[in-house]
């Protein structure tokens, strides 16, 4: 009988580490291209570029801390509850966070430059993000310009601009922005309210807002079969909240409008709605010094509806916001919960097509907002100060901007017949 011959291969610890090493070229650059470069590139809003290894290396310690604490990329949802499938999700996966941490802890090696992915080509700042999907906008509406002095109180500038259409048209997407990078420094938020004569034949909700812009939100795309209606003579009633930044800046806000083809009428009309998180909003609002409080409200859906997104809005004391649905049968569904709100990023969480909640008539939308007016809040300008409701950033407010598409009972019943309700997870249309 022949004896068997065995060959043992020994992998020494140093070799094992080398085989499993994480490098910028092979592992980190693709993550940064996917999740970071949209802001962290030359000429964009972030204070540093993370495109090349040379640009990234000085920031490794800060990058590690920011991704571990889930502060960057800015995505402030609690990932353990509520809907987790979004059309615009820019958060890092657990695997991506682990990869970045391992790379930083290993000394942030470059690796073989041949492993670098091709440089990503980003549009210039004077282009529209949605042009890649829809082509050039059908038209662009511009507000009047405003000169913000270097120093002074906050300003609310409210001009009106004619849209200029002469026939009924439906909108499938909108995109808004301050016209220049300098303007983005002074614009806290901008509202584009739609002002037009609504015939009695239309449902009584009114035209509402066409869009709200803040850092972290730049566009709205309406799902197929839904849109916003523009009527002849329509105007945009702007509200620009401006604040001084130490130098005089003059700028305006621009709204790009993408229309459905002429004659194409979507089945449903979407409205941007404000779900307040305090009674009245504005209304009684009392945050004592050195305190943490919660406000909450309940609002009833007048028809069956699909909620398209969740965008919390608070100021410096804002800590978190939750939106729940209390169904007519008494069951409760957590829709979304932002557990570490950041005033510098007014993120808009757009539900994916297969995750947007479809809710029956009579559903109660329960919105809760938490405020931290203590020294534990790093954004708090003065924890010894009483805070009430107001438009200034030193005041407070609390609401969720939600695009609501009201649907018929028949459509809801058809949807419900093909979807099993669940107490523990959101039903998916």
Domains and CATH numbers, the chain: 13-113 (no CATH), 143-266 (2.60.120.310), 268-429 (2.60.120.230)
Nearest to 47 by CA among 344, 341, 312, 379: 344
The pLDDT profile of the chain, 429 residues, written as one tens digit per residue, is 444 443 443 433 443 444 468 999 999 999 999 989 888 888 777 788 899 999 999 999 999 999 998 888 889 999 899 999 998 888 999 999 999 999 999 999 999 999 999 988 876 656 788 988 899 999 999 999 999 999 999 999 999 999 999 999 999 999 999 998 888 889 988 999 999 988 755 555 667 788 888 876 788 899 889 999 999 999 999 999 998 999 999 999 999 999 999 989 999 998 888 898 876 655 667 899 999 999 999 999 999 999 999 999 999 999 999 999 999 999 999 999 999 998 888 888 999 988 999 999 999 999 999 999 999 999 899 999 999 988 888 889 899 999 899 999 999 998 888 876 544 343 333
SS3 content of the chain, % helix, strand, coil (to 5): 15, 30, 50
Looking at residue 123, what is its pLDDT? 65
Looking at residue 339, what is its pLDDT? 93
Looking at residue 393, what is its pLDDT? 83
Looking at residue 82, what is its pLDDT? 95
Strands (E) in 5-79, as ranges, are none
Number of C-alpha atoms within 13 angstroms, CB side, residue 67? Answer: 25
Looking at residue 2, what is its pLDDT? 42
Q: How far apart are CA 298 and CA 311, in angstroms?
A: 17
Two structure tokens written together for 425: 């997870």
268 φ, ψ (degrees, to nearest 5): -130, 150
The neighbouring-strand residues paired with 359 are 305
User: Model-level pTM greater than 0.85?
Assistant: no
Q: 3-class DSSP state for residue 413?
A: helix
Q: 3-class DSSP state for residue 314?
A: strand
Show Cβ contacts of residue 261 under 8 Å, excluding neighbours closer than 6 positions: none
Instruction: Report yes or no: 252 and 143 within 8 Å, Cβ to Cβ.
Output: yes
Looking at residue 405, what is its pLDDT? 92
Looking at residue 70, what is its pLDDT? 85
**Residue 132 class from Cβ within 10 Å (0-12 exposed, 13-18 middle, 19+ buried)?**
exposed
**155 alpha-carbon distance from chain centroid:** 24
């Amino acid at each position: 009988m022949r004896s068997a011959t065995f060959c043992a291969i020994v992998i020494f610890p140093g070799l094992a580490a080398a085989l499993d090493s994480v490098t910028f070229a092979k592992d980190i650059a693709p993550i940064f291209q996917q999740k970071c470069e949209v802001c962290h590139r030359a000429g964009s809003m972030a204070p540093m570029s993370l495109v090349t290894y040379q640009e990234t290396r000085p920031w490794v310690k800060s990058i590690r801390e920011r991704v571990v604490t889930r502060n960057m990329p800015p995505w402030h949802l609690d990932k353990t509850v509520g809907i987790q499938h979004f059309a615009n999700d820019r958060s890092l996966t657990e695997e991506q966070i682990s990869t970045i941490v391992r790379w930083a802890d290993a000394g942030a090696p470059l690796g073989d430059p041949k492993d670098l992915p091709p440089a990503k080509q980003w549009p210039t700042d004077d282009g529209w993000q949605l042009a890649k999907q829809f082509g050039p906008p059908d038209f662009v509406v511009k507000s009047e310009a405003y000169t913000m002095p270097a120093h002074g109180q906050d300003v609310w500038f409210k001009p009106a601009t004619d849209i200029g259409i002469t026939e009924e048209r439906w909108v499938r997407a909108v995109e808004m922005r301050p016209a220049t990078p300098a303007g983005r420094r002074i614009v806290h938020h901008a509202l584009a309210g739609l002002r037009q004569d609504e015939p009695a034949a239309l449902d009584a909700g009114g035209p509402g807002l066409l869009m709200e812009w803040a850092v972290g939100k730049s566009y709205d795309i309406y799902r197929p079969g839904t849109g916003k209606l523009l009527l002849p003579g329509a105007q945009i009633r702007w509200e620009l909240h401006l604040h001084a930044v130490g130098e005089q800046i003059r700028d305006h806000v621009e709204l790009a409008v993408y229309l459905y083809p002429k004659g194409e009428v979507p089945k449903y009309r979407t409205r941007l709605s404000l779900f307040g998180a305090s009674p009245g909003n504005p209304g009684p609002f009392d945050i004592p010094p050195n305190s943490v409080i919660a406000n909450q409200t309940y609002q009833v859906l007048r028809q069956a509806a699909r909620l398209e997104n969740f965008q919390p809005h608070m100021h410096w004391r804002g800590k978190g916001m939750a939106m729940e649905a209390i169904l007519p049968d008494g069951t409760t569904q957590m829709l979304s919960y932002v557990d570490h709100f950041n005033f510098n990023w007014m993120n808009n969480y757009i539900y994916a097509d297969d995750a947007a909640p479809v809710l029956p008539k009579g559903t109660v939308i329960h919105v809760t907002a938490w405020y931290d007016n203590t020294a534990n809040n790093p954004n708090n300008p003065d924890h010894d100060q009483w805070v009430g409701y107001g438009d200034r950033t030193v005041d407070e407010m609390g609401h969720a901007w939600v695009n609501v598409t009201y649907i018929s009972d028949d459509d809801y019943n058809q949807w419900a017949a093909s979807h099993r309700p669940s107490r523990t997870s959101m039903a998916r249309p």
